[in-house]
Amino acid sequence: MGELGLMLITSEVIPLLLDACPSFAPMWAESVHDNAADDWPTGRLNYQDASDFVRHITDLVLAGATTELPAIFAVIERLVVEGDVAVRNLAVIGYIEDLQGGIVQCAGLDPEVDIRPWLGPRSVAAWEQVKSHVGRAVMGADVERAPRGGPELARSKAPGSTTSAPSLFDPSSGRAPCAPPRRSDRWTRTRTGYSSLP
């Protein structure tokens, strides 16, 4: 549990991940101010933090540097099990969904082979829910999904659903579209997406 035996809250997520994964500290130092959002309730762009961390996990797996992975995925399991609703949503939509998506796939990794085996049991259950697009309940909490869209994204229907749900899956290529380049590649994050630097 989090501080004082209570559920984990969003302000505890990054400190837990930094404890589990000290190699993320340089990337965190680079983005700590970029992802600050004084006008957001949490004061952070938590899902951008998650994307940055998933990029780091991807880099670790590609480099074969797996010593931190057990501790990283133990923290992700804790977020799913011990988090409040916001933390569970962040764990599932921010971390687990990103681990299945474009960042990992565009790096040439197979999420089922290279990522899924590291997950704890509750994280695997969330992984399967995300993968199958069935239901919106995650460990007893409703997942609040921000709308995704744009003409370039394929639309898919969840099995048994009567409404279309946005999907990052591109049926023409059989994989998710690639994530935008990193800031170091002359791109920068904005609150509405990515834009090129002058």
**Predicted TM-score (pTM) of this structure:** 0.67
Give, for all 198 residues of the chain, the pLDDT tens digit. 555 568 999 999 999 999 999 999 998 888 888 888 877 777 788 889 999 999 999 999 999 999 999 999 999 999 999 999 999 999 999 999 999 987 888 888 999 999 999 999 999 999 999 988 633 433 444 444 333 332 222 223 333 434 333 333 344 444 344 544 444 443 344 444 444 444
Contacts 24+ apart (CB under 8 A), 135-141: 138/80, 138/88, 138/89, 138/92, 139/80, 139/81, 139/88, 141/85, 141/88, 141/89
Residue type present at position 39: D
8 Å CB contact between 58 and 51? no
| E-only strand ranges, the chain | 137-138, 141-142, 155-157, 164-166, 187-190, 193-196
Closest residue by Cα to residue 89 from 42, 52, 153: 42
Boundaries of every domain in the chain: 3-146
